[in-house]
Amino acid sequence: MKAVHTIAAGAVAALFSGALCAQSTLDAVKSKGYVQCGVNTGLAGFSQPDSRGVWKGLDVDSCRAVAAAVFGDHTKVRYTPLTAQQRFTALQSGEVDILSRNTTWTITRDTSLGLNFVGVTYYDGQGFMVPKKLNVKSAKQLNGATICVQPGTTTELNLADYFRASKMSFKPVVIEKLEEITNAYFAGRCDVFTTDVSGLVSTRGSRATNPADHIILPEVISKEPLGPVVRHGDDRWFDVVKWSVFAMLEAEEMGLSSKNIDQNLNSTNPAIQRFVGATGDIGKMLALDNRWAYNVVKQVGNYGESFEANLTPLGFDRGINNLWTKGGLMYAPPVR
Ligand SMILES: N[C@@H](CCC(=O)N[C@@H](CS)C(=O)NCC(=O)O)C(=O)O
């Protein structure tokens, strides 16, 4: 018995020393000089390269916020476009440091896939889009419909649940690539395209020949809280990513923006002084410069600025993604 105990204790000690000696993601990111960020292959408003090849969007801004916090330079990000099916393996294998790609926080992903969701950057739900000419007014009229859906998504699972619960049948057309699935839908190869409502609004606004020819049905059949994700087992990196994202929300709540944060560097408000790093040592707690949050807001903007720059032009309302102080769900824990 004694020998067994000794071996077990030795194994545990070895495991611990291995874990403690392994280079943390923050150290690895600092030494390579950039954050490798997994993003969508091209979803307007969330992550898409512009005509000059510069990645833009709400999900991209989470990556830029981390780079601003870590390096004081929001451009120190490299992007890996990932389909829904590729995304978790890319994060688990270390190919990317963060996954910021319209990914729904679920218990399965948070536990058995070995991931940590840092928070929610967009509260969403699954919907259905149909051509107006089909004259469908409700999802309850979709019995027997051909439905375009992407594999490896919560969308696929919710779709099956919803039709079973409603005692309806459907014919799935399962296509992995966004480009191909939207082409299939717009070419009439399926009657319906289903995904997160944000994905529907985005693809309708950016890819339909005439957006007004397509309607999004009133039923929202699921909760899809979307947010950035990191790997299990690296709490310091988890903290850095989490607070970089929270800083954008906290800034909006405090009335700090990229336009006015410089004027606030000499604020007499103690909460603002701490936030911009004029007092206290919050930066040190994160192993970052004390100007980490200032850099996020100065270079990337607050959450509302990102929303307005990326989503408002596509017709998105703040809705439940407004701050809790304005009737929405967006709430950052205190930066203190
Ligand atoms: N939020 C859902 C769905 C996310 C998702 O992948 N949606 C599709 C439709 S907008 C997409 O982004 N496809 C792009 C691609 O796979 O390249 C999830 O996390 O499973």
- Across the chain, mean pLDDT equals 94
Mutate to test the pocket of ligand 1, among 39, 40, 190 (most ligand atoms within 8 A of CB): 40
pLDDT above 80 for 16: no
Q: How far is the CA of 152 from the centre of ligand 1 (A)?
A: 8
Q: How far is the CA of 174 from the centre of ligand 1 (A)?
A: 12
Q: How far is the CA of 154 from the centre of ligand 1 (A)?
A: 9
Residues with CB under 6 A from ligand 1: 40-41, 43, 83-84, 102-104, 150, 153-155, 177-178, 195-196, 199, 224, 226
pLDDT above 80 for 224: yes
Mutate to test the pocket of ligand 1, among 196, 203, 221 (most ligand atoms within 8 A of CB): 196
Mutate to test the pocket of ligand 1, among 48, 102, 173, 204 (most ligand atoms within 8 A of CB): 102
Q: How far is the CA of 290 from the centre of ligand 1 (A)?
A: 36
As a whole number of angstroms, the distance between CA 240 and CA 209 comes to: 42
What value does the mean pLDDT take over residues 140-160? 97
pLDDT above 60 for 290: yes
pLDDT at 22: 62
pLDDT above 70 for 15: no
Which residue's CA is minimally distant from atom 19 of ligand 1?
103
Q: How far is the CA of 129 from the centre of ligand 1 (A)?
A: 15
pLDDT above 90 for 10: no
Q: How far is the CA of 102 from the centre of ligand 1 (A)?
A: 6
Which residue's CA is minimally distant from atom 13 of ligand 1?
178
pTM score, whole prediction: 0.92
pLDDT at 23: 75
pLDDT at 5: 42
- In the block, tokens 């926080």 appear at 105
What value does the mean pLDDT take over residues 132-137? 98
Ligand 1: nearest atom to the Cα of 153: 20
What value does the mean pLDDT take over residues 142-148? 98
